[in-house]
Amino acid sequence: MDRTTLDLWVGIFVAIGVAALFGLAMKVGNLTSSKIGPTITVTAAFDNVGSLKPHAPIKSAGVVVGRVDNIVFNSETYEAIVTLNIDERYAFPIDTFANIYTAGLLGEQYIGLEAGGDEVVLKNGDKIAKTQDAIVLEKMISQFLFNKASETEAKADVKAAPPVGTELDILK
């Protein structure tokens, strides 16, 4: 085999390989999208973080504005302290509301920020005071059943004699 043709083929081979790796990084991986600029760090306390994990996105109006840095348990207040890295390009008021939402029915959990109305903005090291916990499905169902039961009971009281085979009976 001629030396120059051989060099050419090896060159083509390496070029395809580099192109494939580049394609994997850019088109398949999150090398382009995961970049958020310099961040400020704020904390937020939650009673229950559900299945929130470090690196989970922080979204505001559906746009990713930061990532969860870490989650620790505070044994004095029995709360989960979540550290948030928020892109410093975005300024949020100090009374911003932090909620834990679920993407889709079974999707991953993320933090949604809803801007408040205060003039003072969040700075590095601040604490978000207004938080809302992750929704626990079992809790919600039991609450729903409880409400339903008390509702029918109230109705039954008004009617004096409860009819046979109401929702109440079925629930029992």
Partner 1 sequence: MIKSKLMLSMLRHLRGMGHRMIERTWRLGAGARLFFLAIVYSGESFKRFHLTLREIYFTGVMSLLIIIVSAFFVGMVLALQGYNTLQKYGSSEAIGVLVALALVRELGPVVTALLFAGRAGTAITAEIGLMKTTEQLSAMEMMAVNPIARVVAPRFWAGVISMPILASIFSMVGILGGYLVAVPLIGVDDGAFWSQMQANVDFSADIVNGVIKSLVFGVVCTMIALFEGFDAPPTAEGVSRATTRTVVISSLTVLGLDFILTSFMLVV
* Minimum CB distance to partner 1, residue 13 (Å): 5
- From its phi and psi, is residue 113 left (phi > 0), alpha (psi between -120 and 50) or beta? beta
How many residues contact partner 1, by CB under 8 A? 26
* Minimum CB distance to partner 1, residue 55 (Å): 9
**What is the edge-to-edge ordering of all strands in the sheet holding 57-60?**
127-128, 39-46, 79-87, 63-74, 57-60, 109-114, 97-102, 130-132
Alpha helices in the chain (DSSP H): 3-23, 137-159, 167-171
Q: Is 14 in the site for partner 1 (CB under 8 A)?
A: yes
Helix, strand, coil abundance in the chain, percent, nearest 5: 30, 30, 40
Interface stretch with partner 1, choices 11-19, 123-131, 146-154, 158-166 (CB under 8 A): 11-19
Contact 112, 44 (CB under 8 A): no
- Of 94, 86, 82, 71, give the one whose Cα is nearest residue 41: 86
One of 9, 73, 144, 146 touching partner 1 (CB under 8 A) = 9
* Minimum CB distance to partner 1, residue 70 (Å): 16
Amino acid letter, 41:
T
Interface stretch with partner 1, choices 21-29, 82-90, 92-100, 126-134 (CB under 8 A): 21-29
Q: Is 137 in the site for partner 1 (CB under 8 A)?
A: no
Footprint on residues 25-84 left by partner 1 (CB under 8 A): 25, 27-34
Our CB check for partner 1 shows the closer of 31 and 145 to be 31
Our CB check for partner 1 shows the closer of 91 and 103 to be 103
Q: Which residues bind partner 1 (CB under 8 A)?
A: 1, 3, 6-7, 9-10, 12-14, 16-21, 23-25, 27-34
